[in-house]
Structure 1
């Protein structure tokens, strides 16, 4: 029987002191997500800059691109199944993404030195535009819109996976060229990536001050996935347009 079940006027035996003495569980907050996201982005930027330096010194960084991509996929799967490990896995994910982005954008910098920075600028502007559209409710995330965005994103990733596999057999997919079809595909992918930010904002709004504290890392991971995808699509699109025109 719990001591709190006994009735007494003695303040030392009130439930405040005896009823398990549990502190309220910390909840997910927007400020917590912001801090974790900024730290993760700084890690990605630092690793990217390091890979760029290695490329400038003459090192082949193609393995950073491939290894970072594969490692980030593995870590993402682990985060999906082990949400409570996110505080460990998200920093690792940031490192893997830094390796991928460093190798991927290093080759673009050879012919277009300023293009990666321009792509970062466009990504930041797109982020704030989508945030304003979400906050002002010009675009409302409904169940139908959520389904459309998820379906479109999954379809695009499926095309990328198939194209990647075909590449091992020497078959070049249409999405890697500079044809109008490839450019249109990039435009659609960039639009879907930007709209995916709405899902991240919606997740944060629905769970802030309610979900456990560790889910701040989960929300951070979602934002990183979308922002990196958006940056890659913008950079690829800018490169294709620069080559074609």
Structure 2
């Protein structure tokens, strides 16, 4: 099956290999290991079991599940992590989450356990960041949460009405913008470690402009996620790949939330 999305193309190829090999989790319901034939009473191999295709409902359920895990982890971290360890928990969760995110993104197989672990770790990160901002600006977390889901449902509505279409040029443009923004963030982080202030995160006009750009790109990334879900259903990807689609939506939601939180802080109180 042809698709212009490189992620879907990779997952589609992996799914085809799974179907051809008769994939089933090792040991489940007495089934053989990956790639082994399914024996019958007569000793002849039987056809592999039918792979249940993913649906939009599957993605919705998985997304809500991951959001619930992230929210619960964030709340637990907020309450249980001592203030003295908040910085270490923040940085540690950010690093571990980044590594897990890269592994999941570049993996050729859907791994629900790894994705759930990512949600748990990112929950700690989100909880620590939220607690930090809330300690300075009362009510800012609720404002950011409402704004984040408001943007998400707006983009979902625009995609449903086909006001924004995930054309080949659009997909390439958004991906290029995301890579560019993340490169700038990385450079800014490295420079800040050596004492250089680029002004991208100090609350000034440049910082506000950069956060707005990030918010726009994060919002447009939802269109890519919705398109991936739609194409994944059309291509008949196995049900387990709904975890990958839900992971993509979760990543965009967390990024959007952090950027909105940061932007709101620029307009509240003194720097």
CA distance in 1 between partners of 2:211 and 2:83 (Å) = 30
Aligned alpha-carbon RMSD (Å): 1.8
Look up the match of 1:77.
102
1:244/1:148 Cα in 2 relative to 1: closer, same or farther (>3 Å)? farther
Deviation, 1:135, is 0.7
Q: Is the contact made by 2:100 and 2:114 (CA closer than 8 Å) also made in structure 1?
A: yes
Look up the match of 1:220.
246
Matched, 1:105 2:133: no
> Unpaired segments of 5 or more residues in structure 2?
1-43
Larger radius of gyration: 1
Look up the match of 1:15.
none
Look up the match of 2:192.
167
Deviation, 1:83, is 3.8
Matched, 1:52 2:78: yes
Look up the match of 2:59.
33
Q: Is the contact made by 2:110 and 2:241 (CA closer than 8 Å) also made in structure 1?
A: no
Look up the match of 1:123.
148
Look up the match of 1:93.
118
Relative to the length of structure 1, the TM-score reads 0.87
Give the number of the structure whose residues are more often helix, by fraction.
1
Q: Write out per-residue CA displacement over residues 167-215 of structure 1, whole angstroms, 9 at most, x where no aligned residue.
A: 2212223111111111011011101100110000000000115112221
> Unpaired segments of 5 or more residues in structure 1?
1-17
Q: Is the contact made by 1:123 and 1:231 (CA closer than 8 Å) also made in structure 2?
A: yes
Look up the match of 1:243.
269
Look up the match of 1:144.
169
Q: Is the contact made by 1:72 and 1:97 (CA closer than 8 Å) also made in structure 2?
A: yes
Q: Is the contact made by 2:90 and 2:129 (CA closer than 8 Å) also made in structure 1?
A: yes
| Number of residue pairs matched by the alignment | 227
State the 4+ residue runs in structure 1 displaced beyond 6 angstroms: none
Matched, 1:176 2:178: no
